Structure 1
Amino acid sequence: MYKIILYTVIIVFSVLTKAVAQEKTFEQQAKSIAVTIEMITTEEKNALKKEVEAIDSQVKEGKITPEKAQELKTKIAQERANNIETKVAIEEAKLAQLVQDKVDGKIVDISEESTRGGTTIILGSNSKDSIGKNKTEINFGSMKIYKGEKDKAERRSKRTTSQFVFAFGLNNVVTDGENFEDSDYRVWGSHFYEWGITYNSRIFKNNNLLHAKYGLSLMYNNLRPTDNRYFVKNGNQTDLVTSSVNLDESRFRNVYLIAPLHLEFDFTPKKLSADGSKTYFRTHQSVRLGIGGYGGVRIKSKQILKYEADDIKVKEKQKGDFNVSDFTYGLSAYVGYGQTSLYVKYDLNPMFKNNNIDQNNVSLGLRFDFN
């Protein structure tokens, strides 16, 4: 479980990081030089205009004669012309070297680069549509391998796509007549984890708004009781009792295999191919909202107790059914942007089968759908 968490942290970190610099193409560099030359000419001409206007003002004020003014204008015009010639010569030398580098093969355009092979490894969701005609992209975040730009575009634009899902956050129970401040379980110490595979099917052929999202997930619900307590099975009842020893940790975990089903609203706009001949429907690139539910079976229940006895550290694992409901079903929803969303779940069935007071599991956290 800790390996999964560590791997997910690496994925999330990679989602938040982007490349900050890219190699400029020949056309971009040539255009940059042309813009610089234009700026040099414009700046020198504007400076000359202001200087001429200043000389004319001196003539009007009687400070200099018209003959002197003409002499000054000729002088500064020549100076500005020399400035333009000198500065432009530097940029022309850069352009000449750029052309020579292009001829010598030192500069490779994106269009040329895209025809080459090679492999790109992506940890998270920071992959781009354009990966190169013959390149291979291995995306660990979504657990997919794309063989070339065409393969990636076609697979990501299919009516049904797949995602790797990971979610985590706070976990607790809803008890009649109690609020979370009076909960029997630590609010910040109780957590849930969920990971699995989902499929996303566009409901309408030519409209990207509505999707059916379904799949299989493993769900881990952890509760940490307060006040040095732990669970004890008494017949068909499961009670929280105070331990006779000081517990360093008391954690109760239920693991479920569930089948989630959501109606997803995806506001990602459609895209057109470069020549405008084909329409692509992408997902997970804008605001998303999902509402639905889940149902599944309990795989196992386990209680972990840690304490010291006679200066010996003890870790005790207790496995059994603890009278936990064998089946679970509930409501869930999420809202977010791109591949990240806020996620909430609520079990409609009580956690324990026959306890006098029903307690229903509730979870709130973050969800990542790596497309």
Structure 2
Amino acid sequence: MKTITFYVAALLCLCATRLHAQSFQERAAAIANNIEQITKQEKDSLKSEVEAVNTQLEKNEITKAEADAKKQQFAELRAKNIETRVAAEEEKLSQLVKDKVDGKIKNDRFHIFINGSKDTTKTKEYSYKRTTSQFVFAFGVNRLVTDDKIDNDNFKWRSDFYEWGVSWNTRILKNNNLLHAKYGLSLQYNNLRPDNNMIFATDGGKTGLVAAGRDLDMARLRYVNLVIPAYLEFDLTKKQVNGEKTYFPTHKSVRLGIGGYTGFNVKEKQIIKYREDGHDVKLKQKGDFNVSDFVYGVGAYIGYGEISLYAKYDLQPVFANNEIDSNNLSLGIRFDLN
């Protein structure tokens, strides 16, 4: 099972060297943009391939069964391409964060000026800009809400989520630090872990839990969403006055954010582990589990400094065609590394 390291030690800041090297945030944002482009390219290619198959079917060049088989083959190929290409970008991000933690990407929280005269006193000029950037990382537990009730009977408490991305924080008022607009780009990894030896299966275009017919070590459905979050943030950090200059730092006191997100599904797969004839077996099922193509939801966080309690709720049902809607509720901890 391939996992992503929890990026809790990364800092976002500008790299102000004479060589004008890219900042940590800029490189992370570029990787996130690459993932978005990969998904779009593969989905556009799949759409073209499906349209070509439909044209063949309309001309009676192939049967409906052959058309369905071709569509399934193309869908599996594109899903595999997305997973492989996205995994390469995730590896780049992992190395970028490691370089940041190891000090290979220098921090530049302030500028230093040295007087040209014999007086060599160093003066710090803090550069708190109206718009700052952060690396966002969050993790916690997932719960499905079905028929207005949290389903604790069919899912293990270890159903979890983690989220990483980049965000920008803009002070709304010129001379007041209370209100901020926070927006960015994030990948949300949602894991649903059925209990009692159950697995997810599709039947007639609907997705539900069925008995696996054997003792399972683990079953997990993972679906990944690429989203654009937007929050109104209240930051109680006090302004700083240095002589005639006033600065407005962020993430130094109590913060409260209220907002939401919208985006689309990137990939989905089910992983099943069990023992058979004394051997460990790991089965990966890729394809269409009828997870909704688009997602939108509401979220909120409250905390101090760069750490917050975090909650989000998908208003779009997890599965597109089920008669009874199931919505995902996530509770966890969020890091906004400034």
TM-score where L is the length of structure 1: 0.61
Aligned length: 239
Q: Of 227, 231, 241, which aligns to 2:200?
A: 231
Q: 1:262 to 1:140 in 2, by over 3 A?
A: farther
Give the Cα–Cα distance (whole angstroms) in 2 for the partners of residues 139 and 286 of structure 1: 25
2:144 is aligned to 173
Q: CA deviation digits over 1:232-280, x for unaligned, max 9?
A: 111211121001111110001010100000000000000012xx12111
- How far apart are residue 147 of structure 1 and its match? 4.4
Give the Cα–Cα distance (whole angstroms) in 1 for the partners of residues 332 and 272 of structure 2: 25
Question: Are residue 192 (structure 1) and residue 161 (structure 2) matched?
Answer: yes
Alignment of 1:89-168 (within 5 A): 140=101, 145-147=106-108, 149-150=110-111, 154-155=126-127, 157-168=128-139
Question: Are residue 316 (structure 1) and residue 275 (structure 2) matched?
Answer: no
2:215 is aligned to 246
RMSD: 2.4
Q: Read off the aligned partner of 1:326 and give its amino acid letter.
A: D
TM-score where L is the length of structure 2: 0.66
- How far apart are residue 148 of structure 1 and its match? 7.2
Question: Are residue 209 (structure 1) and residue 178 (structure 2) matched?
Answer: yes
Secondary structure in 1 aligned to 2:178? strand
Which range moved further: 173-182 or 317-326?
Answer: 173-182
Please state which structure has a larger fraction of its residues in helix: 1
- How far apart are residue 179 of structure 1 and its match? 3.5
Question: Are residue 256 (structure 1) and residue 225 (structure 2) matched?
Answer: yes
Q: Which has the higher contact order (CA 8 A, sep 6+)?
A: 2
1:28 is aligned to none
The unaligned stretches of length 5 or more in structure 2 are: 12-98, 113-123
Give the Cα–Cα distance (whole angstroms) in 2 for the partners of residues 194 and 201 of structure 1: 21
Question: Are residue 343 (structure 1) and residue 313 (structure 2) matched?
Answer: no
Give the Cα–Cα distance (whole angstroms) in 1 for the partners of residues 326 and 102 of structure 2: 36
Runs of 4+ in 1 over 4 A off after TM superposition: 138-144, 151-154
- How far apart are residue 226 of structure 1 and its match? 1.2
Give the Cα–Cα distance (whole angstroms) in 1 for the partners of residues 205 and 161 of structure 2: 26
Give the Cα–Cα distance (whole angstroms) in 1 for the partners of residues 109 and 166 of structure 2: 24
Query: Which structure would you say has the larger Rg?
Result: 1
1:4 is aligned to 5
Q: Could you tell me the percent identity over the aligned residues?
A: 56
1:352 is aligned to 319
Give the Cα–Cα distance (whole angstroms) in 2 for the partners of residues 344 and 313 of structure 1: 36
Give the Cα–Cα distance (whole angstroms) in 2 for the partners of residues 266 and 142 of structure 1: 29
